[in-house]
A and B are shown apart, each in its own frame.
Chain A
Amino acid sequence: DGGITQSPKYLFRKEGQNVTLSCEQNLNHDAMYWYRQDPGQGLRLIYYSQIVNDFQKGDIAEGYSVSREKKESFPLTVTSAQKNPTAFYLCASRSGVGQPQHFGDGTRLSIL
């Protein structure tokens, strides 16, 4: 079945450490997105990519980095510069303009 796979489901970060969250999709979608969700709040956009080898900052990009070397993959790195990384991270994709956005099951990141 086609879908979006995020791994790991749970991730723990030590102080000063960079961690990478994986997002893979087999839907053949061009656009991919990373969101952060904090308790009681809506989703906030971190980065998005409309096409391979191109990506743009969202509303809260500071302390995060991404790459888009393959159409299927859009990994997110949470760097040590992100001082409040504890959150639920969601990856999404969509096929094109006017199409619905689909989501993975998320990665919960916590600080040790």
Chain B
Amino acid sequence: KQEVTQIPAALSVPEGENLVLNCSFTDSAIYNLQWFRQDPGKGLTSLLLIQSSQREQTSGRLNASLDKSSGRSTLYIAASQPGDSATYLCAVRTFSSGSARQLTFGSGTQLTVLP
């Protein structure tokens, strides 16, 4: 069964820093991986989707990489801003039996960017 881990659970950085959020997964037979942002009391906002054949995706100050063989993805945030403060979740869609249509979520990294 796929398991997704995000470390650290919480991270606090000063404004302007570049930072990396980590996501690891146990089953490398993934279809794709998606990074989300969640603000307190809100739903999830999709940030980036990486297909299994891709190595990375970029959107503005965000860059997500994928290394299937090692079961890892990173989300790089450049020049962080207080508005980036939120919980960031990664989720993988796996080919494993019975779960090809399901996303498995990590428990998230709560990011605080201090002004």
Q: How many residues of B contact A (CB 8 A)?
A: 24
Give the nearest-CB partner of A97 in chain B.
B31
Chain A positions within 8 Å of B42 at CB level? 105-106
**Residues of chain A in range 55-96 having any CB-CB distance to chain B below 8 Å:** 58-59, 90, 92
Chain B positions within 8 Å of A43 at CB level? 44, 89, 91, 103, 105
Q: How far is the CB of A44 from chain B (nearest CB, A)?
A: 8
A42–B109 alpha-carbon span in the complex (Å): 10
A45–B93 alpha-carbon span in the complex (Å): 12
CB-CB contacts of A101-112 with B at 8 A, as 1s and 0s?
A: 111111010000
User: With A98-B31, A103-B45 given, is the CB distance from A48 to B101 under 8 Å?
Assistant: yes
Sample of 13 further A-B pairs with CB below 8 A, known A6-B43, A45-B103, A106-B42: A4-B43, A40-B9, A42-B89, A42-B108, A43-B44, A43-B105, A45-B102, A48-B102, A90-B44, A98-B32, A98-B51, A101-B34, A102-B46
